[in-house]
A = this chain, B = another copy of it.
Amino acid sequence: MVTDTEITVYHRPATLTDLGTHYCPGCTHGIAHRLVAEVIDEMGLRETTIGVASVGCSVFAYNYFDFDFVQAPHGRAPAMATGIKRVLSDRIVFTYQGDGDLASIGMGEIVAAAGRGENITVIFINNANYGMTGGQMAPTTLPGMKTTSSPNGRDVESQGYPIRTAELLATQEGAGYIVRRSLHDPKNIRLAKKAIRLAFETQVRGLGFSLVELLSSCPTNWGMDPVDALRWIEQNMIPYFPINDFKVHPVIASLRI
């Protein structure tokens, strides 16, 4: 209820449906959803956006956004998005993918989409593990980090090194906007939102493939309380996954939003 003498500083975005999410308490998937909804609202894209959910905790993303949505097989969201965007080139198409989905099983599809300069946007949630299946090692799991499939901590000798996805994709000519942001505190959340905005602006302008990697928490599988999980992002993930712009199309770089 807003009174005459007040302004609204924040209200729930219109493109979020009324349904409460199924995410664990404090999981920053929820923040990422909110930011996407805010950007879609601000850009007025509700009627023209089609989302592509992936397989992971965010598999039900389609329940929470009030626009058309489809759900892709594990890792194949960029291919589905390509199929949609190519026949509806004036629509806004984005995928929402986890790190297992995008950087493990779906690496082929995401590189190909970036290589093709597919004019889609990817919201990439890096929470350093496979949340949905109960916390197995992901390509993004940090060295030494314990998961249910690296019970003694990820041993880089036998289990390999974390993949820095944004850096990898930024090598692609077809990429218009590739950045990494984090969801661990208000300042970074604001920066994340701006990045999401710019990613969609990239698509609106037809400047190629755009991706925002978001460092995100998984309190449940990390076995931490939500506040500690955010601190863990800051202290452990950011040193390995630096917050940075890896590729920004000059048109976007010169934009004032």
Residue positions of A touching B, CB distance < 8 A: 75, 104-109, 111-112, 115-118, 139, 156-157, 159-164, 167-168, 171-174
Contacts and interface: CB of A to CB of B under 8 A. Distances in A.
A111 B117 CA distance: 19
Contacts of A167: 171
Contact of A168 (B106, B108, B157, B171): B171
A161 B75 CA distance: 22
A117 B163 CA distance: 11
Nearest to A169: B168
Contacts of A116: 159-161
Nearest to A105: B108
Contact of A106 (B106, B108, B162): B108
Contacts of A161: 115-117, 172-174
Contacts of A172: 161, 163, 168
Contacts of A168: 111, 168, 171-172
9 contacts: A107-B111, A111-B168, A115-B139, A117-B160, A117-B161, A161-B173, A161-B174, A163-B172, A171-B171
A118 B160 CA distance: 8
Contacts of A174: 156, 160-161
Contacts of A115: 139, 160-163
A69 to B, nearest CB: 25
